[in-house]
């Protein structure tokens, strides 16, 4: 399961890497966007909405089952979806976060590391890999 963000600057990179991983494992995969109150369509601009739509379409083209779920807390939403759908691998892109959020351990990847017991958690850089 790849967790999508409306603000991921390199969603296409993460989608291709998740698709390859699913192919190597020979498993069905999900691309899931967790909409928080902050990401409500009335609060994000048209360019961000278009970026999210394009990422979801690319995920479908790569063979993912795409879900759009409203969740107050993305970490709880991720874990709830994973448990309900028999997911064993959770893939999250790691992006730059404020130093305060990192220091407090409040980023989504940090919180998942603490709470995702029983899951294989894959933290992927959103940067292009250089050959």
Between CA 67 and CA 34 the distance in angstroms is 8
Nearest to 2 by CA among 123, 91, 115: 91
Position 66 scores a pLDDT of 97
The pLDDT, as a whole number, for residue 38 is 78
Per-residue pLDDT of 68-92, as tens digits, reads 999 889 999 999 999 999 999 999 8
Distance of CA 128 to the CA centre of its chain: 17
Report residue 13: phi and psi, to 5°: -65, -45
Tell me what the pLDDT averaged over the chain comes to.
Answer: 86
- pTM score, two decimals? 0.83
pLDDT computed for residue 79 by the predictor: 96
Cβ atoms < 10 Å from Cβ of 96 = 9
Q: Per residue in 18-57, pLDDT tens?
A: 999 999 999 999 999 988 877 777 778 888 889 889 999 9
User: Could you tell me the domains of the chain?
Assistant: 2-125 (3.40.50.620)
- In a 3-state reduction of DSSP, which class is residue 125? strand
């Amino acid at each position: 399961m790849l967790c999508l963000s409306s603000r991921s600057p390199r969603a296409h990179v993460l989608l291709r890497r998740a698709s390859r991983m699913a192919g190597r494992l020979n498993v069905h995969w999900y691309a899931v966007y967790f909409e928080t109150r902050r990401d409500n369509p009335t609060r994000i601009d048209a360019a961000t909405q278009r970026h999210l739509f394009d990422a979801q379409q690319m995920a479908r083209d790569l063979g993912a089952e795409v879900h759009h779920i409203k969740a107050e807390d993305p970490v709880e939403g991720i874990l709830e979806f994973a448990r309900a759908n028999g997911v064993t691998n959770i893939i999250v892109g790691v992006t730059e976060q404020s130093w305060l959020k990192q220091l407090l351990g409040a980023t989504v990847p940090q919180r998942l590391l603490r709470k995702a017991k029983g899951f294989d958690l894959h933290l992927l850089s959103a940067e292009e890999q250089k050959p």
